[in-house]
Amino acid sequence: MKIELVSFGALTIEGKHYTNDIVIKKGEIKKRNKKASKAYRDQYNHTPLSAEENIPWKGSKLFIGTGKYGSLPIMSTVYDEAKKRDIEVIAKPTDEICQLLKSYDRNKVNAIIHITC
């Protein structure tokens, strides 16, 4: 998969430019809908990733790009739900996740990518 965080707030996947957080579900790319997690913003001083969001739970791995500086909070409920489903969560700063995903077929990737902080 060709994926790169080109700058703070900008990502390219297979030549297409994105300026919002994204969700990749077996090759399908959509804008991340944070609405379900906004209720926790004050608690984390940032909108976290919660298990209430539309997370791509299929497959054996879930990649989470935590932002340029690794600042995206991930609620424990995400890890709890992944464990119940026997899914390995790989959460790292977005640049590192992009490097990892380069060795994967886009159609086999489940990921949530935060592109700012």
* Reported pTM: 0.96
Complete DSSP assignment for 86-117: T-EEEEE-HHHHHHHHTTS-GGG-EEEEE---
Q: What is the pLDDT of residues 25-71, one digit of tens each?
A: 998 999 999 999 999 999 999 999 999 999 999 999 999 999 999 99
pLDDT, mean over the chain: 96
Residue 63 makes CB contacts below 8 A (sequence gap 6+) with 90, 91, 97, 100, 101, 109, 110, 111, 112, 113
Q: What angle do CA 77, 39, 20 make, to 5 degrees?
A: 85
Domain 3-114 indexed as CATH 3.40.1230.10 = yes
Question: Residue 117's pLDDT is what?
Answer: 87
